[in-house]
Structure 1
Amino acid sequence: MSLKFYRIKLQILSFLYSIKLFLSKVKLRIGIALGLVKSIIIMPYIGFGNEKEVYLLGRVIRNRDVGSATKDDSSFKNFKKMYKRFMTWKIPNVRIRASFEGKYWTTLTDEEGYFEFQIKDHSFPKTDYSWKVFELELIDQVLTIQGEVKSETNVFVPTKLVEYGIISDVDDTIVPTGATRFWEMVKTTFLGNAYSRIPFSGVAAFYQALAKGTDGKENNPLFYVSSSPWNLYDFLLELLVVHQIPKGPLMLRDLGLSREQFIAGSHFDHKLNQVEKIFRLIPDISFILIGDSGQYDPEIYLEVIKDFPGRVKRIYIRHVAEKRKEEVLQIQATMLQLGVQMLLVSDTVEAAEDALAQGWIREVDVQYIIEEKRESLSNHH
């Protein structure tokens, strides 16, 4: 792309983005004036960090009361909830205050209603308990009758007992979504819910085993990195809870028009940036990386190995894309030269047996994984 064409593209994007922001502001003002915006919520996302710095973020939006899913929800009800998640009314340029142990920090929401805190002026000493609870509060008045707008968010700071961390992809790694087949993915996302989206057999027990490590105390942190939009945050968190997969920070992305791109951020760049952010903010431990062969996880993890030598213990890749096998095997060979083994696995049990052989999980937990797989298979027959 020539420099001249690139500049023209940026000018067009900047113009379109300014129109988008203008329409958003007009919509919000009219919505408030007509009483369509009755209440506002702070949607907090799970944060993480170390004893010197923590990172937390969230979004301020109109409360559309999506509510929790049930097993009996119809496809139409699921679609309505998903529509509400995507048709957000964001609240830009308002102040959010975070507080923890008597200290306060303030930041502004951006044009899309997102806010983030990178707190470096406080110490978060390692204790035997890894989760810190931060209070969040909206300072500015947006509505005439607003009341207090508060929320809490959990922030993970590793304990002294952490053995290693785990970073996992979501789509086609934890749960089948057909991420490589667009229409199948759309149907699965918009018509299903946390109960109807069934993870691959053995995943919950395997992730529990990794969280427990060798001492059985669930101190090892799990991070979930996905190219899904932030609009799906509560849905994906609910999916983890419903299927008893250990909770952890979910690193998603903002989709849609931005100043620089028609669709904000590429899949590759987003995932690489988020994984490397985790490596930088949790500097003292090594990681097991889990993904699938369908959407460039091997390529992304290879970059991580190069950028953070000695920090990756093992990579488990669920083999879902036969057409990519040759490419993936070449990456596997390159990783081996760099001292990291990437295993292509057909199911969760294979990965668990390797983790057991390496002395990273307990044998009793592998038995749970095998039982979970057996139970899952019998339920499908």
Structure 2
Amino acid sequence: MGLANIARNVEDSINRRGIVKSRRAGWLPRITAYAGYGSTSAVRVLARAIMSDPQAEDKTFTLPFLPSLTHSYAGQRVNEIISFANEKAAEAERGWRQFFTTQVGFLPVTVTIGTRTISARTDRSGYLDIVVENHGLEPGWHEATITPIAGEPIKAPVMIVSPKATLGLVSDIDDTVLVTWLPQAARAAWNSFVKHTNARQAVPGMAEFYQTLLAGSPEAPVFYLSTGAWNTYSTILRFMQLNDLPIGPMLLTDWGPTPTGLFRSGQEHKKTQLRNLLVMFPQIEWILVGDDGQYDPLIYDELAREHPSRVRAIALRELNPVEQVLSHGSPEAFRTDREDSDVERDGVPVIRGKDGYELGVRARRHGFRIF
């Protein structure tokens, strides 16, 4: 038996014991909803089942149902509503509590969205990730109702992208909009487990840069793609609202062992999610935003070479030498200097800057045309 299988078996054993102990204490499965997304023909619903004390106050906050909004970058109403909720919810909450959960694997649930009601189950880690076709929903924000076989139903927000949308934005999170230096263990632990949400440092100018990029495309969807854990979802959502970043679904990952290794591949996660977006929205060209501290330049570069008509532009935040060392152990940035992957020569513009302000200046200086 491989080390990965041993780790999975240990994790499953601990989790089963946790479920039994929780049930004896009167706890029930609770669905944590994440923002889903889709087109007018198919929608992806995302959630997770964990054990929870039904007597405890639920401070988990998800995107509200705002049917009047027709896109993910809709203006101040979203910011005002979520900011108010954030101020009232767990002001001194620390991130480490998010990681100590007991997930409920293979839990039967019923999902109702639009005109469809289907039965499904969570996976072994408690995640629900399903695609519902022919839902009958119009573009805008809607809700799916997820009802577990035991426990209370919950509303999950879903963003239906307009078929008129021809431009979309995909943004990395760590060291692109949020300074975390995530790969460095001590720094990651501090940011993820200890620091308050409002103490996290935002990359200067990124909110303004995104507002500029999206100003001429009111239907443009925004997605946040990261190798961070789903456990940090609510914390990141609060951070985005505190820093006026546009709202959009987050595509995060599970940090548990897999059948092939102790850890999931962050590169493969990003590549898979990007290709899922290409398939779901064949009419959209994407602006890809990341940083040069790890593999974003290579991943975006590869996608642009394979699908040059689907990538409108690439923007990379340049980390300083100290950030580079904290990110991956070397003061040198990840570059795409290979001759066969020079997307700038193949017609996909690339800009680089130390923060959002510099990216905006260089975009205007170099005729960064996206509209």
TM-score under structure 2 normalisation? 0.81
Higher helix proportion:
1
Any idea what the Cα deviations from partners look like across 1:43-83, whole Å, max 9, x if unmatched?
11111122222112110112364557659989xx544xx23
Find the partner of 1:53 among 35, 42, 45: 42
Q: Distance in 2 between matches of 1:350 and 1:331?
A: 27
Find the partner of 2:176 among 173, 176, 182: 173
Change (3 A) 1:96 1:210: farther
Please state whether the residue corresponding to 2:110 is helix, strand or coil: strand
Change (3 A) 1:174 1:233: same
Amino acid at match of 1:112: S
* Structure 2 counterpart of 1:102: 115
Shift of 1:188: 2.3
- Does the 8 Å contact 2:293/2:333 carry over to 1? no
- Does the 8 Å contact 1:42/1:58 carry over to 2? yes
Change (3 A) 1:93 1:319: same
Amino acid at match of 1:101: G
Q: Distance in 1 between matches of 2:17 and 2:186?
A: 33
User: Superposition pairs for residues 195-214 of structure 1, below 5 Å?
Assistant: 195-213=198-216
Larger CA deviation: 226-235 vs 271-280: 271-280
Please state whether the residue corresponding to 2:343 is helix, strand or coil: helix
* Structure 2 counterpart of 1:130: 140
* Structure 2 counterpart of 1:310: 309
Q: Distance in 2 between matches of 1:153 and 1:96?
A: 13
Amino acid at match of 1:343: I
Shift of 1:332: 10
Shift of 1:109: 0.9
Amino acid at match of 2:142: K
Q: Distance in 2 between matches of 1:151 and 1:162?
A: 29
User: Superposition pairs for residues 252-271 of structure 1, below 5 Å?
Assistant: 252-263=252-263, 265-271=264-270
* Structure 2 counterpart of 1:22: 13
* Structure 2 counterpart of 1:183: 186
Q: Distance in 2 between matches of 1:229 and 1:306?
A: 29
User: Superposition pairs for residues 1-381 of structure 1, below 5 Å?
Assistant: 9=2, 12-35=3-26, 37=27, 39-63=28-52, 65=58, 77-79=92-94, 82-124=95-137, 129-138=139-148, 140-141=149-150, 146=151, 149-213=152-216, 218-263=218-263, 265-320=264-319, 322=321, 323-325=331-333, 327-330=335-338, 334-356=342-364, 357-360=367-370
- Does the 8 Å contact 1:66/1:85 carry over to 2? no
Any idea what the Cα deviations from partners look like across 1:181-200, whole Å, max 9, x if unmatched?
33223212222222111312
* Structure 2 counterpart of 1:377: none
Shift of 1:161: 4.4
- Does the 8 Å contact 1:163/1:213 carry over to 2? no
Q: Percent identity, aligned pairs only?
A: 23
Q: Distance in 2 between matches of 1:40 and 1:105?
A: 19
Please state whether the residue corresponding to 1:294 is helix, strand or coil: coil
Shift of 1:275: 1.6
Q: Distance in 2 between matches of 1:225 and 1:154?
A: 18
Change (3 A) 1:324 1:279: farther
Which structure is higher in RCO with an 8 Å CA cutoff and minimum separation 6?
A: 2
Q: Distance in 1 between matches of 2:100 and 2:177?
A: 27
Any idea what the Cα deviations from partners look like across 1:223-278, whole Å, max 9, x if unmatched?
00111111101111111122221111101110122322112x11211111112212
Any idea what the Cα deviations from partners look like across 1:186-228, whole Å, max 9, x if unmatched?
21222222211131222122223333325xxx42111001111
Q: Distance in 1 between matches of 2:189 and 2:11?
A: 24
Shift of 1:299: 0.6
Larger radius of gyration: 1
Amino acid at match of 2:40: E
Shift of 1:15: 4.0
- Does the 8 Å contact 1:202/1:349 carry over to 2? yes
Amino acid at match of 2:352: L
Uncovered stretches (5+) of structure 1, i.e. residues with no partner = 1-7, 362-381
Shift of 1:23: 2.9
After superposition, the CA RMSD in angstroms is: 2.7
Uncovered stretches (5+) of structure 2, i.e. residues with no partner = 61-84, 322-330
TM-score under structure 1 normalisation? 0.79
Any idea what the Cα deviations from partners look like across 1:84-117, whole Å, max 9, x if unmatched?
2101111122222221233212210111111111
Q: Distance in 2 between matches of 1:326 and 1:73?
A: 38
Give the number of equivalent residue pairs. 332
Q: Distance in 2 between matches of 1:185 and 1:114?
A: 24
